[in-house]
Structure 1
Amino acid sequence: MNVKNLLLLFCSTALLSSCGLFSSSSLIRKAELVNEPVNDTIHAKNIMGLYIVYVKIDDHEEPLEFIFDTGANLTVINKKTADRLGLEVSGDLNLGDSQGQRNRIPLTMINQLKLGEGVYENVIAAVIQFPENSTVECIATDGILGYHVIRQMQWAIHPGDTLLVGSTESLLGDRTYDAIPMAGWKAPLLQVNFKGIGYRNVLFDSGSTGGLDIEQKYLSKISDSIPVVVEIDGTSQGVFGNNIDTVVTVRNTAIEIGNSSVPSDVDFSQTNSRKVGMRTMGSYHMIIDGQAEKLYLGEMETENSRTRSFGLIPGISDSTLYVSSLEIDGQAADKGIQFLQALESVNGVTAADINSMECGYLNFILEVVRNAEQIELVTKNGDRITLEREESEAKMLD
């Protein structure tokens, strides 16, 4: 999970391009909904376009925070939460995250999971110790709710809302929808068209704050006709950690999903995954119907804002504030800023300030930089550099 609105805040590079655990094995089973019919409205938090729902496990009454993540075909529980609840490990599985990193991960069997009025039994979950400073854990303390649970009902989503409607009966009503095939019982896969080229098996990832991600090997199909922004990105985070990637982005464009033209950024990255996240999909009312393998795309209800950036994203590692993503020809690079360069402060906030707060980095992004139209960087040698939020100049690739 995925978890890019640094995308909304800075540029088109994902903070959490996906929470997704798309690669797994045939050992994954469907969770079983045992009390249908269900027609339920559940309360959720909305953080950067991601939905955080509350579940209860076994006989524990404590509500637990989970990211509602169609991009994860398996439910994930934070190791600290699993230990606190006394969940027993039973076997392991070779899992891959959204950044292509793989590990053997212990599994636990959740006898009963409650999500609103829905009761699910025999829910297999991966037990994962999230990396230090993981933003996944800061967005949802306890884990990630996977598609094997989500697909048991229809789910209606309204942009920016803090309610989700789930039902075992039809939620379509009198609205008009574009009924889009969404193949796959392990993960919801769409066909997406961009500049006349069809891309199959694009993961619809509600645990991603990104736009459309495509493998970089397909860049040659459009690179001679469309200007792009190139950045070195160290912010994309999966559940096992970060990767450094060179991302080539077509910004403020449109893609076709079904019969709908959808505003989106398109990232061509070095990770071997295709997905479309909530930066693109989150402006629409939609119904996710895993049983019928359909995505019902309704009207756009909130404006999809154009991407503007400062030409960089600040990151933090231990006690160092540094440049974790940099547009190669952007305004920050033009002013002499380098990738991985250490910084003294951003808008007066230092690494020590960030580390003194719980989930300090996420709060720094949300509270200090999110609404800024201008930021001031102070470098380690005392230079002060002012950057304005603006649409980056796109250029043709050489």
Structure 2
Amino acid sequence: MRHLLFLLFVTITSIAASQVASIPFEKEGLVYIPVKVPGEETPLQFVFDTGASTAVMDKAVATRLGITADTKQYASGASGSQEYEIAVNRTLEIGDLNFDNLHLVLVDLQELSNRSGTSIDGIIGADVINRFVTQFDFAEKQLHLYKNVKDIANTNGYTPHKVDLSGPIPMVTMDCIFKDGTRLSGDFLFDSGANLSILFNTPYANKHQLTTKFDKTIEITSRGLTATSTSTKGMLQGVSLLGNDFSNLPVSIAQTEYGVSAQEGFAGILGADIINRFDMILDYKEDLLYLKPNHHYLEAFDVPLVGFTLKKVDQKIVIGDVIKDTEAAQKGIAQGDELLSINGVSESTLKAYREVLKQEGTTIVVRLKKTSGEEVVMKLTLQPLI
């Protein structure tokens, strides 16, 4: 999602100034909202993303709905220069509002859906939030749109912070504390569509030699909108964000020469693992971000305990990436193996399996179906990899 930052021109949405809406959302790592295409009764599921500068629709969904590209545009993305297909001047319905004159970038989102375990039909971001005062309420699971902050009935507990909202993507300043005592400050893109805590940009990481500041690291492969990238993951002692302190969190260092994560001028990306710990209000007119800790605030950060990732493909749970030099790799677990059960229990969702894989210090029994068709059973111990 972050790889389209700064890349594409966004036509300002035409919305009557008097309109206000409340939009329900679901949180499964990221925030999902229902979006409709005019003439279609069944809503689509879009990620609501503060880090997206333009609207995106899955190519397969667009084809099914008869939406075709009107133009193409080259832009520099995660894997270098790439041609994007764009359907121009389209309308999407969100809540009771019609968003006209949207340019929809048509991208294959299937791999993102597989890795999240949730169908992703598209992405909505700056097209909505920079036209309103936007409030995220995680207790109610509602996204509220207002004309002015004063229209919000209750702002008790919210603390306003002056931040940079001049561009399509919010920018915030944050301090990072490393285990060797180093404390570094930097500006980070406020990207709720990034399913991580912090990602340091390659130039910033190289300048400060960040890979030398971790006791233990692993390499993780992740999938963005258009490409797969590799990053180094380690444990950070703490961060201080606008008066809020968090400790013991896994962070990533980009290893890329292209795209947003290769740019200089800012430290990196602040993602959903931290952002979603707050109810928040974004006021683009006044460059104000209001934060209020919510019920996720004190949750421990998830530390990788097993040497593989999971994804859902054609209703099957399969192994995504295998981290080298881990117990899983040594015992022969491979990309594409189907996960049949853990501790004798078969699950149908990634979320259910991922909850089991959070139980640090336990030994699990994994049953797999290899790509050859052979079924194997093995024991793995869940222990921190970083």
Aligned 8 A contact 2:305 2:383 in 1 = yes
In the TM superposition, residue 69 of structure 1 has moved relative to its aligned partner by 0.9
CA-to-partner distance for each residue in 1:287-324, whole Å, 9 max, x for gaps?
12233333212224322313333231244699995561
- Would you say 1:66 and 2:59 are equivalent positions? no
What residue is the counterpart of 2:4 in the other structure? Answer: 21
- Would you say 1:265 and 2:250 are equivalent positions? yes
- The counterpart of 1:45, out of the listed 12, 26, 33, is 26
Q: Is the alpha carbon distance of 1:126 and 1:343 closer, same or farther for their aligned partners in structure 2, counting shifts above 3 Å?
A: closer
What residue is the counterpart of 1:256 in the other structure? Answer: 240
Q: Which has the higher contact order (CA 8 A, sep 6+)?
A: 1
Q: CA RMSD in A?
A: 3.5
Describe the SS at the equivalent of 2:364.
Answer: strand
Q: Is the alpha carbon distance of 1:275 and 1:59 closer, same or farther for their aligned partners in structure 2, counting shifts above 3 Å?
A: same
What residue is the counterpart of 2:197 in the other structure? Answer: 211
Q: Is the alpha carbon distance of 1:188 and 1:138 closer, same or farther for their aligned partners in structure 2, counting shifts above 3 Å?
A: same
What residue is the counterpart of 1:104 in the other structure? Answer: 83
- Paired residue total: 355
Q: Is the alpha carbon distance of 1:375 and 1:37 closer, same or farther for their aligned partners in structure 2, counting shifts above 3 Å?
A: farther
What residue is the counterpart of 1:324 in the other structure? Answer: 321
In the TM superposition, residue 391 of structure 1 has moved relative to its aligned partner by 3.4
What residue is the counterpart of 2:264 in the other structure? Answer: none
In the TM superposition, residue 37 of structure 1 has moved relative to its aligned partner by 2.2
- The counterpart of 1:366, out of the listed 333, 347, 351, is 351
The normalised TM-score by structure 2 is 0.77
- The counterpart of 2:341, out of the listed 344, 347, 351, is 347
In the TM superposition, residue 210 of structure 1 has moved relative to its aligned partner by 0.5
What residue is the counterpart of 2:145 in the other structure? Answer: 166
- Would you say 1:296 and 2:295 are equivalent positions? no
Aligned 8 A contact 2:220 2:233 in 1 = no
Describe the SS at the equivalent of 1:89.
Answer: coil
Describe the SS at the equivalent of 1:279.
Answer: helix
1:111-260 to 2 correspondence within 5 Å? 111-131=90-110, 134-135=113-114, 139-159=118-138, 161-170=140-149, 171=152, 173-195=155-177, 196-200=183-187, 202-219=188-205, 221=208, 223=210, 226-234=213-221, 236-243=222-229, 245-251=230-236, 253-260=237-244
Distance in 2 between the 1:182 and 1:338 partners? 48
Q: Is the alpha carbon distance of 1:138 and 1:378 closer, same or farther for their aligned partners in structure 2, counting shifts above 3 Å?
A: closer
Distance in 2 between the 1:182 and 1:106 partners? 30
The normalised TM-score by structure 1 is 0.75
Q: Is the alpha carbon distance of 1:96 and 1:59 closer, same or farther for their aligned partners in structure 2, counting shifts above 3 Å?
A: farther
| Gaps in structure 2 of 5+ consecutive residues | 178-182, 262-267
Identity of aligned residues (%): 17
In the TM superposition, residue 366 of structure 1 has moved relative to its aligned partner by 1.6
Distance in 1 between the 2:102 and 2:44 partners? 15
In the TM superposition, residue 153 of structure 1 has moved relative to its aligned partner by 1.1
In the TM superposition, residue 168 of structure 1 has moved relative to its aligned partner by 1.6
